[in-house]
């Protein structure tokens, strides 16, 4: 079942994010950074100032996507910090595409004040870049050596954005 997340999903989302963070290359956050306080902040920001969707399978949350508007007034027309997580046991089954498609559709239909959705992806993650481009995201440029990964290596992310065709200023 695909649905909007509730603040009561906090424990399930914590377990999901921890499972993905424990998987090499899963997300940029380390396992130690995926805390109850982090998930509480994600839920609060996304429910109050953005959108968060979850996919339930067999009674548990196995995937999630969220983004929210930053608190700076000048950025009120965007959703940022987009993060998608799919439990390692459920990857490769189309859940990510389904979540993204529904997420973008809900922004088109219900968020006319949002012009763009932003995300970052490692420049070396070409399958993810192709995936995002297939959903309508555009590359906006690389940010050389912005990431210092857990192994102490510098990595370059690519900024990508999707533009809402139903934006109303």
pLDDT tens, residue by residue, 27-60: 888 899 999 999 999 999 999 999 999 999 988 9
Cα 113 to Cα 107: distance, rounded to the nearest angstrom: 9
151, pLDDT greater than 90: no
Tell me the pLDDT of the chain averaged across its residues.
94
Residues β-bridged to residue 134: none
As a whole-number percent, the residues of the chain with pLDDT over 70 amount to 100
- For residue 118 the two structure tokens come to 């932003």
- For residue 39 the two structure tokens come to 């998930």
Cα 131 to Cα 101: distance, rounded to the nearest angstrom: 12
- For residue 155 the two structure tokens come to 């990595």
- pLDDT bin (cut points 50, 70, 90) of residue 25 is confident
- pLDDT bin (cut points 50, 70, 90) of residue 5 is very high
Q: Determine the pLDDT at residue 150.
A: 80
- pLDDT bin (cut points 50, 70, 90) of residue 156 is very high
Cα 156 to Cα 69: distance, rounded to the nearest angstrom: 24
69-95 residue pLDDT tens: 999 999 999 999 999 999 999 999 999
CATH class of 2-120: alpha beta
Q: Is 16 left (phi over 0), alpha (psi -120 to 50) or beta?
A: alpha
**Distance of alpha carbon 142 from its chain centroid, rounded?**
19
107, pLDDT greater than 80: yes
Task: Give pTM, 2 decimals.
Answer: 0.93
**Nearest one of 55, 72, 74 to 16, comparing CA atoms:** 55
């Amino acid at each position: 079942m695909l649905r909007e997340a509730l603040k009561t999903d906090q424990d399930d989302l914590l377990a999901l994010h921890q499972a993905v963070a424990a998987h090499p290359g899963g997300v940029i956050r380390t396992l130690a950074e995926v805390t109850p306080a982090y998930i509480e902040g994600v839920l609060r920001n996304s429910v109050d100032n953005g959108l968060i969707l979850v996919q339930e399978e067999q009674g548990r949350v196995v995937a999630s996507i969220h983004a929210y508007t930053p608190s700076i007034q000048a950025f009120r027309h965007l959703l940022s910090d987009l993060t998608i997580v799919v439990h390692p046991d459920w990857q490769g089954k189309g859940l990510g595409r389904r979540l993204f498609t529904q997420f973008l559709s809900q922004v088109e239909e219900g968020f006319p004040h949002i012009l763009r959705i932003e995300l970052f992806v490692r420049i070396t993650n070409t399958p993810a870049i192709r995936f995002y481009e297939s959903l309508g995201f555009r590359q906006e440029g690389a940010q050389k050596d912005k990431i210092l990964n857990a192994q102490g290596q510098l990595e370059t992310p690519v900024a990508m954005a999707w533009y809402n065709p139903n934006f109303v200023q």
